[in-house]
Amino acid sequence: MEKHPNVKVIKCNEDLTGEDGLIRSDYTRGGLHLNDYGYVVLTNRLKDQL
């Protein structure tokens, strides 16, 4: 991100994925879209970083 010094990358993968690298089933609807619990995890990570 050296080209974009005002951009902050926030890595959320570790918070949302299991050991298999896929979104944890308790955080997703159909394995693709986050459900309410997944959005809580994502929101908490973003709040921690901003």
Structure confidence at residue 29 (pLDDT): 92
Q: What is the pLDDT of residues 28-47, one digit of tens each?
A: 998 889 999 999 999 999 99
What pLDDT score does 31 carry? 82
> Among 7, 12, 6, 9, which Cα is nearest to 40's?
12
Residue percentage of the chain with pLDDT more than 70: 98
Which residues have a Cβ under 8 Å from the Cβ of 28 and sit 6 or more positions away?
34, 35, 38
Tell me how far apart the alpha carbons of residues 34 and 39 are, in angstroms, rounded to a whole number: 6
Strand residues in the chain grouped as ranges (E): 28-29, 33-34
* pLDDT > 70? residue 1: no
